[in-house]
Chain A
């Protein structure tokens, strides 16, 4: 499998202990509806946390809050001890340290694959084009798409687009990656090629916060599983195998049952 060691892909963590992300008493409302209530979570360096739960439970909103794409009504989100919120002066700097891949194919349709990957490194981080392109190509090579560098997104399959989206996030050298149901819109046969990339990222020590509906994948990759329902963490487990076979809470049991056909 591809080499995604932290040095190679450039995921760096300043040593503020080994804690990367801390969410304290997060409260999120939208038009009077409470989406997340008093949510607490700490993510350590190299940790892979998988968030599962029924649709509408707030798990995607959680990721969007972490990247300050949503306003929050209470609590705080700290990256390396510094607050992340949409009004902050250094928000663009903070967002550079947080990579995010969305469910829908969010590549820029008017840019080629290589331009998609290098746009932010060149314009935001002001890195020299040649250097950014070289790194982009290396990363594309590892996801098997270097030969598509000059194609446009619409010429790629869904799975290929998502692999490019991952590379685009990685090229910014984020400290943590947020993956928001990145295979939910894919045809089944393309799910694997994307999840393989995520698995190898995990093996090479990337810190990730993943929302997914792929239970087998969650079980294989997670260091810790969070089950969220109605805006709060209902069950948390550091033993995915245990969690997926014998969840403790009735709500998690009921949720996992919906994936069985027996």
Chain B
């Protein structure tokens, strides 16, 4: 292992990490927004839109992100829809994640016994109040492990961004290996930088899950 080589590569990896993080978190944000909108449509049982949500969720949960990105980046321009690589990355991740989040939120809501809503209603609460004060807080806690798993999954999935020529960590590693053949140094840095990116999220996620459980239910 050549320390000098590693030192000279670090800035390249750092830039790649920043790009990966920026697009990755934008994607996660999209995933939350899309997931929430889908959940809302399902909860309110809006006709037509509801069926569309089901089609969307099944379509994106049952195809690889790589294929989705190929389609968005290489196929859509042929019918006149041109998206920049960065937007394609974050939106693609968001569409994939939105489908997963929608399922996670749904199972969180399904976990709440109907008696909870009924007892809220029997106290004279409106549907909105019952949702806001009784259902939602419990559903968020119940969905937390799934949400954390989704976020980690999505951030991992960023590793395919290089196919749409985004200079992310994989791209950088592959590029450097191709040019200078310093394979070991490049791969070591790759692992280290992914650890920097994901270990804190993983640890924070576990902590958050435990915290919420305690705060919400008193142990």
Q: In the complex, which residues of chain A have a beta carbon less than 8 angstroms from the beta carbon of B133? A: 119, 123
Q: Judging by beta carbons under 8 Å apart, are A172 and B218 in contact?
A: no
In the A-B complex, the 7 residue pairs with the closest CB atoms: A152-B218, A96-B124, A120-B123, A106-B119, A100-B122, A95-B124, A110-B216
A-B pairs with CB below 8 Å: how many? 73
State the CA gap A172–B126 with chains docked (Å). 15
Partner of B122, one of A98, A109, A119: A98
B208 lies within 8 A of chain A by Cβ? no
Contact digits for B107-128, partner A, Cβ 8 Å, 1 yes 0 no: 0000001011011111111100
Number of A positions contacting B (CB below 8 A): 29
Q: Which residue of B lies closest to A100 (CB)?
A: B122
Q: Chain B nearest CB: distance from A25 CB in Å?
A: 24
Starting from the known contacts A100-B119, A108-B116, A109-B216, 15 additional A-B residue pairs (CB-CB under 8 Å) come to: A95-B121, A100-B122, A102-B119, A104-B115, A110-B216, A112-B218, A120-B123, A125-B124, A152-B217, A152-B219, A154-B217, A155-B219, A168-B123, A172-B123, A172-B124
Interface residues of chain B, those whose CB is within 8 Å of chain A, are 113, 115-116, 118-126, 129, 133-134, 137-138, 141, 216-219
A253 lies within 8 A of chain B by Cβ? no
State the CA gap A78–B133 with chains docked (Å). 29
- Interface positions, chain A 61-117, Cβ under 8 Å from B, are 67, 69, 92-93, 95-96, 98-100, 102, 104, 106, 108-110, 112
Q: In the complex, which residues of chain A have a beta carbon less than 8 angstroms from the beta carbon of B217? A: 109-110, 152, 154
Q: Chain B nearest CB: distance from A156 CB in Å?
A: 11
Q: In the complex, which residues of chain B have a beta carbon less than 8 angstroms from the beta carbon of A98? A: 122
State the CA gap A100–B120 with chains docked (Å). 10
Q: In the complex, which residues of chain A have a beta carbon less than 8 angstroms from the beta carbon of B219? A: 152, 154-155
Q: Judging by beta carbons under 8 Å apart, are A95 and B122 in contact?
A: yes
Q: Judging by beta carbons under 8 Å apart, are B138 and A110 in contact?
A: yes
State the CA gap A86–B113 with chains docked (Å). 20
**Counting chain A CB atoms within 10 Å of each CB, which of B115, B134, B218 scores highest?**
B218
Question: Could you give 24 example pairs across A and B, Cβ below 8 Å?
Answer: A67-B122, A92-B124, A92-B126, A93-B124, A95-B121, A95-B122, A95-B123, A98-B122, A104-B113, A106-B118, A108-B119, A110-B137, A110-B141, A119-B134, A120-B124, A124-B129, A151-B218, A152-B217, A152-B218, A154-B218, A165-B119, A169-B122, A172-B123, A172-B124
Q: Chain B nearest CB: distance from A8 CB in Å?
A: 20
Q: Judging by beta carbons under 8 Å apart, are B141 and A69 in contact?
A: no
Q: Which residue of B lies closest to A104 (CB)?
A: B115
Q: Which residue of A lies closest to B115 (CB)?
A: A106
State the CA gap A180–B142 with chains docked (Å). 28
Q: Judging by beta carbons under 8 Å apart, are B123 and A169 in contact?
A: yes
Q: Judging by beta carbons under 8 Å apart, are A102 and B115 in contact?
A: yes
Q: Chain A nearest CB: distance from B56 CB in Å?
A: 31
Q: Judging by beta carbons under 8 Å apart, are B125 and A124 in contact?
A: yes
- Interface positions, chain A 163-183, Cβ under 8 Å from B, are 165, 168-169, 172
Partner of A108, one of B122, B124, B129, B134: B134
Q: In the complex, which residues of chain B have a beta carbon less than 8 angstroms from the beta carbon of A110? A: 137-138, 141, 216-217
Q: Which residue of A lies closest to B119 (CB)?
A: A106
Q: In the complex, which residues of chain B have a beta carbon less than 8 angstroms from the beta carbon of A165? A: 119
State the CA gap A151–B122 with chains docked (Å). 23
Q: Judging by beta carbons under 8 Å apart, are B118 and A102 in contact?
A: yes
Partner of A69, one of B116, B121, B216: B121
State the CA gap A99–B124 with chains docked (Å). 9
State the CA gap A124–B118 with chains docked (Å). 15
Q: Judging by beta carbons under 8 Å apart, are B116 and A92 in contact?
A: no
Q: Chain B nearest CB: distance from A112 CB in Å?
A: 7
